[in-house]
Amino acid sequence: SGSRSSSVVCCGTLLILDPDESGLRLFRSFDWNDGLFDVTWSENNEHVLITCSGDGSLQLWDTAKAAGPLQVYKEHTQEVYSVDWSQTRGEQLVVSGSWDQTVKLWDPTVGKSLCTFRGHESIIYSTIWSPHIPGCFASASGDQTLRIWDVKAAGVRIVIPAHQAEILSCDWCKYSENLLVTGAVDCSLRGWDLRNVRQPVFELLGHTYAIRRVKFSPFHASVLASCSYDFTVRFWNFSKPDFLLETVEHHTEFTCGLDFSLQSPTQVADCSWDETINIYDPACLTVPA
């Protein structure tokens, strides 16, 4: 890390890793002059992705080219903590969430943002598109709310006071357009049905420190995974009485990144402040649910 009063320069690195039989092979790496907080792949070009960083910018990269970013989008005035590429075919849109309390909408082919969404009253930690509803995305914030936005209306549709703590992550269920999950500093995961948001449809307890990221499985309708500052990754099935399926403890520092494979029903990737990345098949996904 560095401060403005010293000559130390923060640097972020984007690693493109290629799994093979012997493990992970480094395909390419790119450097940026500030920390990189999130990354999202293009939905129509396997070589293109976007990162976001501590200097308030987004960077568009092409993994087929060794040179630096193809384009830099600099409009946010503080750290950009979240970026997501729309999964809806026919519209190439990206949303970014920032510590400046705004969400911005981008078309990567246009050099400036299309729209800015205001309403959150604190840091925005997570922004994610609905996989079902075109032009609809969710955001989670330090203001303790989950918000649902409509691009066409250029405004907020639903405000959910989801926790009495900062919300660090949210995700949409891949099998229900009305179901989302939030993960918060209060160590809880809560499920929300957009048709009735007065109370959560489930609450999952077990983590002992803040939940940094939560993801629904793309293969199992009621399975999700979460990672936490308690160093663990936990797998859950919210439709079962014993909802905790498995706890994975292979990191020695905060676990901060997590996702399911889109190709393999059993494969998961995670990463941690201990500077390691793990790709693995948790036991609970390799046996019949």
pTM of this prediction?
0.92
**What's the pLDDT at 1?**
37
Q: Which helix (H) or strand (E) holds 284?
A: helix 283-286
Looking at the DSSP bridge assignments, the partners of residue 149 are 137, 156
Domains of the chain: 6-161 (2.130.10.10)
| Phi, psi torsion values for 285, nearest 5 degrees | -95, -15
**What's the pLDDT at 10?**
56
Q: Per-residue pLDDT for 102 more than 60? A: yes
Q: Per-residue pLDDT for 3 more than 50? A: no
| Percentage with pLDDT > 90 across the chain | 81
CB atoms within 10 A of CB 34: 17
Name which of 145, 129, 125, 126 is nearest 137 in CA terms: 129
Of the pLDDT bands very low, low, confident and very high (cuts 50, 70, 90), residue 180 is very high
Average pLDDT taken over every residue of the chain: 92
Q: Do strands 136-141 and 124-129 pair parallel, antiparallel, or not at all (unpaired)?
A: antiparallel
Query: CA-to-CA distance for 250 and 24, rounded, in angstroms?
Result: 17
Q: What is the DSSP letter of 266?
A: T
Q: Which of 2-6, 100-104, 168-172 has the lowest mean pLDDT?
A: 2-6
Q: Which two tokens stand for residue 96?
A: 């970014």
Q: Which two tokens stand for residue 200?
A: 């959560």
Of the pLDDT bands very low, low, confident and very high (cuts 50, 70, 90), residue 24 is confident
The alpha carbons of the chain give a radius of gyration, in whole angstroms, of: 18
CA atoms within 13 A on the CB side of 14: 27
Q: Per-residue pLDDT for 92 more than 90? A: no
Of the pLDDT bands very low, low, confident and very high (cuts 50, 70, 90), residue 288 is low
Query: What digits encode the pLDDT tens for the residues 47-61?
Result: 999 999 999 999 999
Are 16 and 31 spatial neighbours (Cβ–Cβ below 8 Å)? no
Q: Per-residue pLDDT for 4 more than 80? A: no
Average pLDDT of the segment spanning 275-288: 89
Q: Per-residue pLDDT for 200 more than 90? A: yes
Q: 20: which residues sit within 8 A by CB, 6+ positions away? A: none
Average pLDDT of the segment spanning 176-189: 97
Query: What digits encode the pLDDT tens for the residues 126-164?
Result: 999 999 999 999 999 999 999 999 998 878 899 999 999
Of the pLDDT bands very low, low, confident and very high (cuts 50, 70, 90), residue 173 is very high
Q: 32: which residues sit within 8 A by CB, 6+ positions away? A: 11, 12, 13, 14, 51, 53, 59, 69
Q: Per-residue pLDDT for 22 more than 90? A: no
Query: CA-to-CA distance for 92 and 111, rounded, in angstroms?
Result: 14
Q: Per-residue pLDDT for 123 more than 80? A: yes
Of the pLDDT bands very low, low, confident and very high (cuts 50, 70, 90), residue 89 is low
Average pLDDT of the segment spanning 104-117: 94
**What's the pLDDT at 8?**
45
Name which of 195, 214, 196, 194 is nearest 204 in CA terms: 214
Query: CA-to-CA distance for 121 and 2, rounded, in angstroms?
Result: 28
CA atoms within 13 A on the CB side of 80: 29
